[in-house]
Amino acid sequence: MITLTDISKTFKTKQGTFNALKNISLSIEENTIHGIIGPSGAGKSTLIRVINQLEKQDTGTVGVFEYTDVKKLNKESTRMYRKRVSMIFQNFNLLEQKTVFQNIGLPIILHQRLKETDITLIRELITLVGLNGYENSYPNELSGGQKQRVGIARALVSKPEILLCDEPTSALDTQTIKTVLELIKTIKEKLNLTVVIVTHDMNVIKEICEEVTVMNEGEIVESDNIDNIIFNPQSPVTSGLLGTIGLDIKQFISKKVTKENMFVLLFDKSIINQSLISRVVQIHSVNINILYANITPNNKGIMLIEINGNQSKIQSTIKELINRGVEVKHV
Amino acid sequence: MFSNIDNEAFIKAFQETIFMSFVSTLFVFIFGLLLGITLFATGKQSINQNKIIYQISSIITNILRSIPFLILIVLLVPFTKLIVGTILGAKAALPALIIGATPYYARLVELTLNEKGKYLIETGQAFGASNYKIITKIIIPESLIGIIRGITVTAIMIVGYTSIAGAIGAGGLGNLAYLYGFTRNQIDVTILATLLIIGIILFIQLISDILIKKIQKT
Ligand SMILES: Nc1ncnc2c1ncn2[C@@H]1O[C@H](COP(=O)(O)OP(=O)(O)O)[C@@H](O)[C@H]1O
Ligand SMILES: [Mg+2]
């Protein structure tokens, strides 16, 4: 759906040139919520802005929809393209002098007068984002969460297929973050959207992202589905980010001296309720220490265990676990 | 007190001041807004970044702004003669007033548009708006308060300029105050002229406050 190939972007600054994106290649699947995470300055915003061409790449191509390279589109086609790729912003970017209703209608008002059908659509969107009764309020009468809801409704008014979100919750408090993310998830399902979320906050990724791309210093560190990112992080940057939400298994491992008999388990929700470990312990008469256990965003169980017993018993224990549908990784 | 007051002369002078201030403010508003938008639109990272146009507008603006008004009037004498046909009277003051105040207002407009410019441009572009729509439908409506505040300050400055122009032959309250107060030592005329000028300025401020109150969304 979105195919970035060999994207590079250099900014000229007073200190010289700065490579914000270095040969980035990335595919984003249709109908997924794809997170892009990395420390500040990693190039995340630049990358997401290349997708809707608010920023033009120096080299490489951005293929979206039927277009092989959206950079080649002329002004008029770029405008049409941007109606299909909407955006929400960290600071909401609402117009202070316009009401909620007018703000949501803005993408239409910019092109033509509001028709009866547009007014109906705006009303529906106000209901969808839960802002009934606020139609005639002005942005500075709203809370941060409500402002972002206006931003979301405004982004949906052009009936886009892709929703780009640049740090959509970074200006919000923890409680509000959850509700806004829930809303994004809901509209994605309802409207079959492809959602790209840029964030520096691993909680956001954990909460709603199915696919994750980790960026650092203008490069992609790794890109995978959320379970693999958590179960099997490839880079210290990823581990560091996982550590911020207590999901970095390596933290626990490094504290232990012997790693010989330590394993990471990943298993389905159905297994969580089966008291798996105690059964295996009984059958194979081994001793199992659970060093760490958590549940991933996709409701999978993840566990770090240490098995004590002789080698053949350990081996049969692992076989048993694998047979029961558990993914086992030796540390 | 006020024994030297000649009613007719005052009414005429008052009308001249109002005429000069009003007409030049009107022109300054139009020209300054256009120049200010040009400065904004061609500036760094704006919608129509253009170094050459920006630099030219910017240099002209700066030069005109740095010429003291009295000297500007003198410099413009040939130009004024050409356009108005005379260098005396209220009409003759208009070119200098307009040329003197336009760059000032243009800078104020540029400043106020730049205030939220970056994110407003981003918003407009993200929703596929043309540059023209971004200016007319987003940036100007969002900057309306700043634009009004700017023209208020400028109008008040123009009223001040009219009395400088008045002193060297343009008529108006400034002329009256100078002519009677300074050269004939009739201080009461000067005081009354001053009070009237203050009245005009307070009136401008009042209108501006009412307008802003009406459009401000709080
Ligand atoms: N318009 C610009 N001009 C100069 N440098 C820029 C510009 N935009 C971004 N950068 C630089 O590029 C780097 C990446 O920026 P950005 O994509 O905003 O990072 P992130 O969103 O990951 O924090 C930063 O170091 C930033 O200073
Ligand atoms: Mg950013």
Question: Which tokens sit at B210?
Answer: 């009412």
Q: Name the residue of A7, A9, A11 to mutate for ligand 1: max ligand atoms within 8 A of Cβ.
A: A11
Q: What residue has token string 């508003």?
A: B29
How does pLDDT run across B165-175, given as a tens digit for each residue?
A: 887 778 889 88
Taking the C-alpha atoms of residue B145 and residue B124, their distance in angstroms, rounded to an integer, is 20
Interface contact flag, A82 B128, Cβ < 8 Å:
yes
Strands A59-64 and A2-13: antiparallel
Sign of the four-CA dihedral A143, A146, A152, A156: negative
* C-alpha of residue A43 to centroid of ligand 2, in Å: 7
Residue A298 pLDDT: 72
Contacts of A51 (CB under 8 A, 6+ apart): A2, A4, A62, A64, A85, A162, A164, A196
A6 Cα to chain B: minimum distance (Å): 23
Residue A329 pLDDT: 81
Residue B100 pLDDT: 94
Q: Is B137 on the interface with A (CB under 8 A)?
A: yes
Task: Give contacts of A96 with chain B, Cβ < 8 Å.
Answer: 142, 217
Taking the C-alpha atoms of residue A9 and residue A22, their distance in angstroms, rounded to an integer, is 7
Q: What's the predicted TM-score (pTM) here?
A: 0.85
How does pLDDT run across A104-121, given as a tens digit for each residue?
A: 999 999 988 999 999 999
Asked whether the beta carbons of A293 and A257 are under 8 A apart, the reply is no
* C-alpha of residue A224 to centroid of ligand 2, in Å: 21
Ligand nearest to the CA of A167: 2
Interface contact flag, A89 B123, Cβ < 8 Å:
yes
In our burial notation (b when 16+ CB lie closer than 10 A, e otherwise), range A249-268 reads bbeebeeeeeeebbbbbbbe
Q: Is A90 on the interface with B (CB under 8 A)?
A: no
* C-alpha of residue B118 to centroid of ligand 2, in Å: 15
Instruction: Kindly list the protein residues whose Cβ atom lies closer than 6 A to any atom of ligand 1.
Output: A 11, 13, 18, 20, 38, 40-46
Domain residues of chain B, as ranges?
7-217
Lowest-confidence segment of A177-191, A230-244, B28-42 by average pLDDT: A230-244
Q: What are residue A83's phi and psi, to 5 degrees?
A: -70, -25
3-state secondary structure of B29: helix
Residue B218 pLDDT: 64
- Please compute the mean of the pLDDT values over residues A205-231 and round it to a whole number: 91
What's the Rg (C-alpha) of chain B? 20
- Please compute the mean of the pLDDT values over residues A220-247 and round it to a whole number: 87
Q: What residue has token string 């650092």?
A: A216
Burial of A190 (0-12, 13-18, 19+ CB in 10 A): exposed
Contacts of A255 (CB under 8 A, 6+ apart): none
Calculate the alpha carbon distances from B203 to A187, B15, B152, B195 in Å.
Answer: 53, 15, 10, 12
ipTM score here? 0.84
- At A328, is the pLDDT very low, low, confident or very high (cuts 50, 70, 90)? confident
Nearest-5° Cα angle at A35, A32 to A38:
165
Interface contact flag, B142 A96, Cβ < 8 Å:
yes
Closest among A172, A236, A235 to A199, alpha carbons compared: A172
The residue in chain B having the minimum alpha-carbon distance to the alpha carbon of residue A164 is B126
B60 pLDDT above the threshold of 90: yes
Task: Give contacts of B137 with chain A, Cβ < 8 Å.
Answer: 109-110
Nearest-5° Cα angle at B68, B65 to B73:
100
3-state secondary structure of A135: coil
How does pLDDT run across A277-310, given as a tens digit for each residue?
A: 888 888 888 888 888 887 776 778 888 888 888 8
- Please compute the mean of the pLDDT values over residues A91-95 and round it to a whole number: 95
- At A256, is the pLDDT very low, low, confident or very high (cuts 50, 70, 90)? low
Residue B83 pLDDT: 87
Task: Give contacts of A75 with chain B, Cβ < 8 Å.
Answer: 130
Interface contact flag, A158 B129, Cβ < 8 Å:
no
Percent of chain A residues past pLDDT 70, beyond the cut: 96
Asked whether the beta carbons of A166 and A90 are under 8 A apart, the reply is yes
Interface contact flag, B141 A97, Cβ < 8 Å:
yes
Helix (H) and strand (E) counts in chain B: 10, 0
B142 Cα to chain A: minimum distance (Å): 6
CATH architecture assignment, domain B7-217: Orthogonal Bundle (1.10)
